[in-house]
A and B are shown apart, each in its own frame.
Chain A
Amino acid sequence: EPEVTQTPSHQVTQMGQEVILRCVPISNHLYFYWYRQILGQKVEFLVSFYNNEISEKSEIFDDQFSVERPDGSNFTLKIRSTKLEDSAMYFCASSEVSRTDTQYFGPGTRLTVL
């Protein structure tokens, strides 16, 4: 069964460093998302992406964050200058056709900012 994949599974970085989290969505899906979950808290929406552009973003997704689809398969989340409070699990998700479709989640990347 097709699934969303994410790399790396765990990323440790120093405060102020840039990180890039990578995702490969399910191949025939058209909508891509990033969510994050701080330990013990809710899953929070960051950004959605369709047709090579951001379609929606939350207030968390400030100028330090960016997303890109550099080729036909990868979808990346970049954090330019990490802060301690960026430590969280970051989940990539994808959905097939419409905005109401089921979103399938990848296994996540645990980001630890020291």
Chain B
Amino acid sequence: QKEVEQNSGPLSVPEGAIASLNCTYSDRGSQSFFWYRQYSGKSPELIMSIYSNGDKEDGRFTAQLNKASQYVSLLIRDSQPSDSATYLCAVNEAGAQKLVFGQGTRLTINP
């Protein structure tokens, strides 16, 4: 059974600070990695995708991938109260046509 693990939180960060979210995965053959944001009662909304080792930046968000360590992270700079949500790490299972999700990390940004 392929697993994706996240710290469920809650993670509390002051407004304007950097929020750091982490994820590990078990399937060494996975090639595609995604961060989704999910507000309560809503559907997953794509934040970032990353496919290669290293960093990928998009505005205030930076995704980091280390395939050797089977580790993906998401940094949110200049955190805003509107960033308060659950952040889902999702990994495309190798050779399969499906995403495996972590349980999500609940992030709260305190004004």
Residues of A within 8 A of B100 (CB): 45
A33 adjacent to chain B (CB < 8 Å): yes
B25 within 8 A of A: no
Contacts A91-B44, A100-B31; A48 near B98 (Cβ below 8 A): yes
Do residues A99 and B92 form an inter-chain contact, with CB atoms below 8 A?
Answer: yes
Contact A43 B101 (CB under 8 A): yes
Q: How far is the CA of A48 from the CA of B97 in the complex (A)?
A: 7
Band of interface residues on B: 20 to 34
Tally A residues with Cβ within 8 Å of B: 25
Q: Known contacts A100-B32, A100-B51, A107-B43: does B101 contact A50 (CB below 8 Å)?
A: no
Contact of A42 with B42 in the complex, beta carbons under 8 Å: no
Asked if A99 and B44 sit within 8 Å, CB to CB, the answer is: no
Q: Decide yes or no whether A25 CB sits under 8 A from chain B.
A: no
Q: Verify B96–A103 contact, CB threshold 8 A.
A: no
The interface bits of chain A over 65-106 (1 if a CB of B lies within 8 angstroms of the residue's CB, else 0) are: 000000000000000000000000101000000011111111
A18 at the interface (CB under 8 A from B): no
CB of B87 within 8 Å of the partner chain: no
Q: A55-B97, A56-B96, A56-B97 are in contact. Are A102 and B46 (CB under 8 A)?
A: yes
Are B98 and A102 closer than 8 Å at their CB atoms?
no
The distance from the CB of A3 to the nearest CB of chain B, in whole angstroms, is: 10
Chain A residues numbered 13-55 whose CB sits less than 8 Å from any CB in chain B: 31, 33, 35, 41-45, 48, 50, 55
Residues in A lying within 8 Å of B, measured CB to CB: 31, 33, 35, 41-45, 48, 50, 55-56, 58, 89, 91, 99-108
